[in-house]
């Protein structure tokens, strides 16, 4: 039982490290670039400007005012699209890293029960939670299932705290 506990802690540690690596890659490839900073500032500025215009517009507003608002919305949509494209570069790098690391660690933990689940997973998840494990005890947990769960949740926390830190510094 102690090796299972050690494996679980090791997988959580690996997940924390990969989440920090992913956030670091995102910071290097996205957040610190001038293009991202410029686009983000532009989107924020346009959003505020659009909000003000929408608040001041009346029902009897002319077609020209409505056209201006439509143009601003289109501009904002284009800048948001450009911002998403800048972020996508990072997502590809992170996806590649996670896939490579997952394959490497999966071979290390292949066929080992790394945790005991307190429940029997739904049938369509059992293929993932019981991957490469012998036996029919579906409360046995494979590396891949625990790694994915940990990485997803830890990444959310790291991302949240990074975003909060960025908001405070602005």
The predicted-structure confidence for 20-78, as pLDDT tens digits, reads as follows 888 888 888 888 899 999 999 999 999 898 888 877 776 666 777 778 888 889 999 99
Taking the CB of residue 141, how many other CB atoms lie within 10 A of it?
A: 24
Give pLDDT, residue 58: 66
Q: Please state the three-class secondary structure of 28-50 as a single string.
A: HHHHCCHHHHHHHHHHHHHHHHH
Domain membership of residue 106 as a residue range: 2-169
Residue where the block lists tokens 């997940």:
15
CA dist list (Å): 87 to 26, 45, 52, 123, 170: 8, 19, 28, 35, 20
Give pLDDT, residue 60: 62
Give pLDDT, residue 1: 56
CA distance 35 to 53: 27
| Whether the Cβ atoms of residue 73 and residue 50 lie closer than 8 Å to each other | yes
Q: How many domains does the chain have?
A: 1
3-class secondary structure, 141 = strand
**Pick from 145, 124, 126: which is nearest to 136 by CA?**
126
Q: Please list the alpha-helical segments (H only) found in the chain.
A: 2-26, 34-56, 63-108, 123-129, 143-169
Mean pLDDT within 106-131:
91
Give pLDDT, residue 146: 92
Taking the CB of residue 75, how many other CB atoms lie within 10 A of it?
A: 15
| Whether the Cβ atoms of residue 30 and residue 84 lie closer than 8 Å to each other | no
Give pLDDT, residue 156: 83
pTM of the model: 0.74
Show Cβ contacts of residue 127 under 8 Å, excluding neighbours closer than 6 positions.
Answer: none
**Pick from 17, 4, 15, 13: which is nearest to 149 by CA?**
15
């Amino acid at each position: 039982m102690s090796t299972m506990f050690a494996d679980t802690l090791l997988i959580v540690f690996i997940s924390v490290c990969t989440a920090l690596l992913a956030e670091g890659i995102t910071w290097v490839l996205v957040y610190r670039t001038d293009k991202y900073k410029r686009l983000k500032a532009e989107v924020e500025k346009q959003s505020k400007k659009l909000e003000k215009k929408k608040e001041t517009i009346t029902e009897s507003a002319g077609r020209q005012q409505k056209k201006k608002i439509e143009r601003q919305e289109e501009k904002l949509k284009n800048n948001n699209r450009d911002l998403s494209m800048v972020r996508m570069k990072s997502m590809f790098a992170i996806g590649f890293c996670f896939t490579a690391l997952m394959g490497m660690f999966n071979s290390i933990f292949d066929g080992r029960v790394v945790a005991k689940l307190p429940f029997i997973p739904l049938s369509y998840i059992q293929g993932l939670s019981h991957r490469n494990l012998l036996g029919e005890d579906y409360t046995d947990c494979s590396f891949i299932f625990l790694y994915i769960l940990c990485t997803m949740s830890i990444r959310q926390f790291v991302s949240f705290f990074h975003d909060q830190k960025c908001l405070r510094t602005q």
